[in-house]
Amino acid sequence: MRITQDIRYIGVNDHKLDLFEGQYVVPDGMAYNSYLIHDYKVAVMDTVDKNFTHEWLDKLAKELEGRKPDYLIVHHMEPDHSANIQVFAQLYPEAVIVASAAAFRMMNNYFGTDFADRRLIVNDGDELPLGRHVLKFFTAPMIHWPEVIMSYEKFDKVLFSADAFGKFGALDSYDDDWACEARRYYFGIVGKYGAQVQALLKKVSGLDIKTICALHGPILKEDLPYYLGLYQTWSSYGVETDGIAVCYTSVYGHTKEAAEKLAAMLTAEGCPKVAVTDLARDDMAEAVEDAFRYGKLVLATTTYNSEIFPFMRTFIETLKEHGYQNRTVGLIENGSWAPQAAKIMRGMLEGCKNITFAENTVRITGALNDASNAQLKALAEELTKEYPKPSAEDKAKQDPKAMFKIGYGLYVVTTNDGTKDNGCIVNTVVQVTSTPNRVAVCINKQNYTHHIVQQTGKLNLNVLSVEAPFSVFQKYGFVSGRAVDKFAGMDVSRSGNGLIYLDQYINAYLSLKVEEELDLGTHGMFICSVTEAQVLSKAETMTYTYYQNNVKPKPQTEGKKGWVCKICGYVYEGDELPEDYICPLCKHHASDFEPIK
């Protein structure tokens, strides 16, 4: 591949690598870049990883077009670029190795020779003419090893930038957002050395750069001020994007609930971007880049062994190692008997430069309650006070009542736990494909039916008709099959899978076999194939709207003050309905209640 008339690309793509540098996931692979400059003299710029020796040598031989290389320029000694120096030196004995003095010392460590008889040591500002192309060298210590040099080719105005401006990802992988993986790469690998990157940016600021050739990632030709600007922001620990990173660990889900609740509050309070990371399950390098990307960070963790949860400790230590600074930090702690996570997290970050702690800290002692919910709200308000609040018009565009306009049918799902039959009312059912027929059924994880379907992998879907009376909903919807045998003493009919289908009040049933389950947090979605299907009557299907208008009795709210469940009519008496209230009858959430008028 030609970069200019005389500069060729001879790098390789690695799609087999599991972890770059033994720790960073690289789902899109990695590129080890190497270049060749044709002129009166021929220069090769760096080698590649040891797993690609022959692929690289083949490319080199092809681009040499029968010539011999005069120089091997070694910008960086990390093995992903230097592994083939000795192979090259043996194959091309006339070539001179060009590097910094520190790099030659490292060659001695790696290869047992510092090429004393055929080397050229270069320093800051030295030049190497190849013909019309001239390389000017810049030392760039700690970007990201001490021996690093960069070179500027004056004729074509190309900066060979070593690891700077590199990114994760092979060059043949699709990538429409350079910054995403370049940021994760920068903060993971170079981020500690902001001062050194600043010094380099100063050095190259007077150069007329048309192209940047890094050792990883694509060749950058257009919009160079964008890339240089991001490096300026990153290396000065500035805020790149207005927003808040929320990073949590959670043992039993309560801290997770708090982190997610806070994230929703931050968004509702006008925060333009909220990034939430589970430090135990998500890529921690993503969390690190988010912590540096945004101006504010919320840390939520549990007290654990009189310490903090290990993933949070690792995360904070990683931030500190990478020079974390200039940020506002909010803290959420959880501890069932002696919470001290906030104090520990604060202590760990106190040595970092220019960290402002939010005044409001959230303390959870097990599960969220009124007091900790209020603290979450106060923290959300404090962290978002400078953001414009959503306008009345924006709020009007977030009307939860729109959800009620989605059409639903109503169904009884029948199952058998091995000892008894069970039935449960479900409304979230949809046929998702027809060749073959696939039906998606969502069931609340709190329901015993969810457990039985997970255990047995089969269910019958009874399609309720408009003939079904309210008693059907009471029987299958308001009590748990864990406690009650809903079919005791009944004569029942069974389909081929052995499960009951209702003899009354349905117009059809489908026997379903679970093919896949998707975890949706509160619900599980079962994607099912259809093993049997029968139409039993011509009656119309019961819809949720029909149920609301014609089946559900009017709630007995006369003389009562409080809230009524729109699903089953249960009345909650009191001034305030708790935000996380669950209807004891039908298990629907507080959002399905309305005030008694």
Where do contacts with ligand FEO occur on this chain (CB under 6 A)? 76, 78, 80-81, 144, 163, 215-216
Nearest to 215 by CA among 146, 253, 144, 165: 165
Give the number of other CB atoms < 10 A from CB of residue 235.
23
> What would you report as the CA-atom Rg of the chain, rounded to the nearest whole angstrom?
32
Beta-sheet strands, E only, within 130-285? 134-139, 149-153, 158-160, 211-213, 241-248, 274-278
- Name the residue nearer to ligand FEO (CB basis): 78 or 290: 78
- Name the residue nearer to ligand FEO (CB basis): 6 or 80: 80
- Name the residue nearer to ligand FEO (CB basis): 80 or 592: 80
Residue 191 CB, nearest approach to ligand FEO (Å): 13
Q: Which residue is nearest to ligand FEO (CB)?
A: 78
Residue 143 CB, nearest approach to ligand FEO (Å): 8
Residue 144 CB, nearest approach to ligand FEO (Å): 5
Is residue 343 helix, strand or coil? helix
Residue 288 CB, nearest approach to ligand FEO (Å): 17
Pairwise CA distance, residues 80 & 24, whole Å: 14
Residue 77 CB, nearest approach to ligand FEO (Å): 9
- Name the residue nearer to ligand FEO (CB basis): 147 or 333: 147
Residue 305 CB, nearest approach to ligand FEO (Å): 36
Cβ neighbours of residue 110 closer than 8 Å, sequence gap 6 or more: 77, 79, 82, 85
Pairing of strands 437-444, 241-248: unpaired
Q: Give the side-chain half-sphere CA count within 13 A for 108.
A: 9
Residue 192 CB, nearest approach to ligand FEO (Å): 13
Beta-sheet strands, E only, within 100-210? 119-121, 127-129, 134-139, 149-153, 158-160
Distance from the first to the final alpha carbon of the chain: 74
Residue 182 CB, nearest approach to ligand FEO (Å): 13
Residue 76 CB, nearest approach to ligand FEO (Å): 6
- Name the residue nearer to ligand FEO (CB basis): 215 or 568: 215
- Name the residue nearer to ligand FEO (CB basis): 140 or 329: 140
Angle 284-293/310-321 helices, nearest 10 degrees?
50
Residue 590 CB, nearest approach to ligand FEO (Å): 52
Token pair in block for residue 251: 């043992």
Residues 460, 413 contacting (CB under 8 angstroms): yes
Residue 166 CB, nearest approach to ligand FEO (Å): 6
Place of tokens 């599980």: 524
- Name the residue nearer to ligand FEO (CB basis): 14 or 78: 78
Cβ neighbours of residue 46 closer than 8 Å, sequence gap 6 or more: 33, 34, 35, 72, 73, 74, 75, 76, 81, 82, 215
- Name the residue nearer to ligand FEO (CB basis): 142 or 539: 142
- Name the residue nearer to ligand FEO (CB basis): 21 or 370: 21
Place of tokens 């690093």: 148
- Name the residue nearer to ligand FEO (CB basis): 148 or 266: 148
- Name the residue nearer to ligand FEO (CB basis): 189 or 376: 189
Residues 96, 88 contacting (CB under 8 angstroms): no
Angle 194-204/224-235 helices, nearest 10 degrees?
140
